[in-house]
Structure 1
Amino acid sequence: MSESRLVVRLRRWYGGLPTILVDGALAVLVLLVQLWPLLSRANPYGGPWHWWGYTVVVTSAVPLVWRRRAPVLVLLAVCLPTGFYDLVDEVASQPIWYTTLVAVYTTAAYSSRWKRWIALAVTLGGGLLIVGSAESALRGTVQFVAAYAIGRAAAASRAHAAALEERALQLAREREIEAERAAERERARIARDMHDILAHAVSVMVVQAEAGPVAVTSNPARAVAAFDAIAGAGRDAMDQLRRLLNVLKEEEGPRGPQPTIDALPALADQVRGTGLHVTYSTTGSPRPLSPDTGVAAYRITQEALTNIVKHAGATRADIALTWQDHALMIDITDDGRGRDLALPSGGNGLIGIRERATACGGTAELGPRGDGPGFRVLVRLPLAAS
């Protein structure tokens, strides 16, 4: 195991322990360190050390158990007994500063600004009043200031870690929200595709089915062609729906490509089978389209033709593609009854056309033709970046 991983695991283990247990262990450690001179050295005056030394050591170490709960009070409780350690002569000679250093560190790390500044000033002032020499005063001042600085550094490190953790949580929430929005957009896209597929296929099948019985007796060949067109439209719709539904499966499955602009001539041929006269023309040199724009071009044309077949009562539809320097223009017109019948069922199909164009960064103009009866769908789709 690498050293960094070991340090991370130790920090997690340490951070998961109850604070009262950690602070209690620290108090016991400081107590043992300050008792060691009393236990390991012999009293030059003979006999055991004076009980006063043991009392001061114990009473100054025990408050450290609550150091993080009340830092300033613990600092005062620690400083008071340690200041009177040398009241008697029969105590081991030792610096009795360890508990005070821990308390100063804790006050700097966990107290507010004014509390820690006042506590540090009182601690330094009281220590300078009772210290025995200038050397001890300098050494004690350096140690207390160092403990205070380490405490502030620890507080800054905790604040930084907390800010990073909060930022990580915020990023995770933003990723979840974005994933939900992406899923919603994908569901909306699938719903639009299914609407386009079903509406187009059913429209073609209904028109052919209505014409079939009439042609059975008068024109058997036309009746056969009508039934073939119905079957072809149904198979095409099933293939496209199967590809869409594969996207919704949890397990990965084979996914066929979505129809794009290259499939528009076949779409025009399919609509001609309904009896509608359809023309298809292109102007300019074809240029690259992004995959989603290519699919949108097909679906927009499909929806516009579906509306013409179902609602316009038209005899003719013209599809004109114009390749410009930075955009593809799709112009679809008919000679039907115009706008009044072009918005059935709330006009969801035309709304879908606008949404598809907008999603690709394009625009859509929908309205009556200006040169005669009928309706016009004019869509501008941006070309792929070179």
Structure 2
Amino acid sequence: MVTAVAGPLAAVADRLRRLPPVVVDSGLALAALAAQLAPFVSADPPAGRSWPVGGYLVAVAVSLPVILRRRFPFWMLMASELAAAAYTLVPDGPRQPLWYGALIAMFTVGARAPRWQRISAIVIIAWGAFIFTGSLETAARGALLWTAAYAMGRAWASRQEHVRILQERALHLERERELEAERERSRIARDMHDILAHGVSIMIAQAEAGPVLMGKGPERAEAAFDAIAAAGRDAMGQLRRILGVLEAGGESLRAPQPTLADIPELVERVSSNGSVPVTLTVSGNPGKLTADAEIAAYRIVQEALTNVMKHARARTVTVALDWSGGDLAVTVVDDGDGAVAGDGLGRGLNGIRERAVSCGGSATAGAVPDGRGFRVRALLPVAAAR
């Protein structure tokens, strides 16, 4: 039963909220005026006489200021109160127990007026009640009504502030979700670029070396074809995991991802394909990286090796993992041409920098200062430092 009643009431409240403010305030002013004029209709004037015109004017003067309640709440209250006080000067008028326009004005002051106006209104109303009230009963009833109107106005203001805070929080959360989705799309794009670029680079290198290896014996040629097949299978496996994440909507299939422990296998796979020998060195006391930093370390080494195979024409490559500085320093140095051409997608070196920054680190890339070659260096923080 309560639900059945609440539904229509909620619909009516929603429609009222959509009305222009001037329409709502005009409706309130007319309702207050109708209530103030009711005693002129329901009660009989003194015998042989009619109600004085001044009484009607006071009823209008108390009610009409409600139209301006949003723009001038304090001054609208003062105008209504002065008009109500003037009713004591009207002889033989019908009894007016409530001044509805003034009560609406007091509610609006509590809801919308600044603090100094609210305090001034309370002081003025209290002194007015003390001066003009004719009996203790009337004073008590007036104090209760004024207090209730003011308290309802303050409660309305608190509710509006609460709604505003909730709306801001919802907007903030929506922006956070959008940023998180953007970061996830960027991460997936980087992963797919790294996987495809690395796998295709290995397959191209082996395919280009195939004619040369054919002359050196079938075993060398067979090894080249095996390397191509292995690179393709590895790329397909990693792509399936990424696509599984997309189909599952995010987190459930996010693992396993390659980590720091997979770097030796990566170096061995690149070195064994015959395009360029790669050496791995590890120094210092290993620490604990965050999960994001472990993935970043692997992808940084993978992308740097991919660039070497695609662009550098190097004879040797060194991958160094150095823990001696407290954090992990990942360095990939080759003795190639000393510059890396763009890959057409703009994701190579930029992707390395983005991965390092995303887990609280940094990355630099450029020609080796004292000789021929190119160096990529990334600094990744350990979990304790983060």
Same fold? TM cut 0.5: yes
- Where does residue 166 of structure 1 map in the other structure? 164
User: Alignment partner for residue 176 of structure 1, among 168, 171, 174?
Assistant: 174
- Where does residue 230 of structure 2 map in the other structure? 232
* Partners of 2:330 and 2:217 in 1: CA distance: 36
**1:155 partnered with 2:166:** no
The worse-fitting range, judged by mean Cα deviation, of 345-354 and 184-193 is 345-354
Give the deviation of 1:69 after TM superposition. 3.2
Give the deviation of 1:25 after TM superposition. 8.3
Q: Deviations over 1:24-61 (max 9, x none)?
A: 8888899999999x79xxxxxxxx999868x9999998
Structure of larger gyration radius: 1
Q: How does 1:41-56 map to 2 (within 5 A)?
A: none
Distance change >3 Å, CA 115–CA 312, structure 1 → 2:
closer
- Where does residue 270 of structure 1 map in the other structure? 269
- Where does residue 97 of structure 2 map in the other structure? 97
Give the deviation of 1:313 after TM superposition. 0.5
Q: Is the 8 A contact 1:35 1:57 kept in 2?
A: no
- Where does residue 45 of structure 1 map in the other structure? none
**How many residue pairs align between the two structures?**
360
* Partners of 2:303 and 2:230 in 1: CA distance: 18
- Where does residue 348 of structure 2 map in the other structure? 349
Give the deviation of 1:266 after TM superposition. 1.0
- Where does residue 303 of structure 1 map in the other structure? 303
Distance change >3 Å, CA 103–CA 213, structure 1 → 2:
same
Q: Is the 8 A contact 1:357 1:363 kept in 2?
A: yes
Distance change >3 Å, CA 344–CA 70, structure 1 → 2:
closer
- Where does residue 110 of structure 1 map in the other structure? 108
Q: How does 1:134-149 map to 2 (within 5 A)?
A: 136-137=134-135, 139-141=137-139, 143-149=141-147
* Partners of 2:173 and 2:255 in 1: CA distance: 29
Q: Is the 8 A contact 1:204 1:230 kept in 2?
A: yes
The worse-fitting range, judged by mean Cα deviation, of 11-20 and 162-171 is 11-20
CA RMSD of aligned residues (A): 4.4
Give the deviation of 1:180 after TM superposition. 1.2
- Where does residue 319 of structure 1 map in the other structure? 319
Q: Is the 8 A contact 1:354 1:363 kept in 2?
A: yes
- Where does residue 286 of structure 1 map in the other structure? 286
The worse-fitting range, judged by mean Cα deviation, of 75-84 and 153-162 is 75-84
**1:375 partnered with 2:374:** yes
For 2:322, give the aligned amino acid. T
The worse-fitting range, judged by mean Cα deviation, of 143-152 and 189-198 is 143-152
The worse-fitting range, judged by mean Cα deviation, of 170-179 and 213-222 is 213-222
* Partners of 2:201 and 2:12 in 1: CA distance: 68
Distance change >3 Å, CA 195–CA 30, structure 1 → 2:
same
Normalising by structure 1, what TM-score?
0.74
Identity %, equivalent residues: 37
Q: Is the 8 A contact 1:127 1:137 kept in 2?
A: no
- Where does residue 257 of structure 2 map in the other structure? 258
Give the deviation of 1:372 after TM superposition. 3.1
Give the deviation of 1:176 after TM superposition. 1.3
* Partners of 1:119 and 1:244 in 2: CA distance: 66
* Partners of 2:66 and 2:10 in 1: CA distance: 18
* Partners of 1:64 and 1:7 in 2: CA distance: 33
Give the deviation of 1:160 after TM superposition. 2.0
Distance change >3 Å, CA 15–CA 123, structure 1 → 2:
farther
**1:216 partnered with 2:214:** yes
Distance change >3 Å, CA 68–CA 34, structure 1 → 2:
same
* Partners of 1:287 and 1:9 in 2: CA distance: 64
Q: Is the 8 A contact 1:67 1:103 kept in 2?
A: yes
- Where does residue 200 of structure 1 map in the other structure? 198
Q: Which 5+ residue runs of structure 2 have no aligned equivalent?
A: 70-75
Give the deviation of 1:179 after TM superposition. 1.4
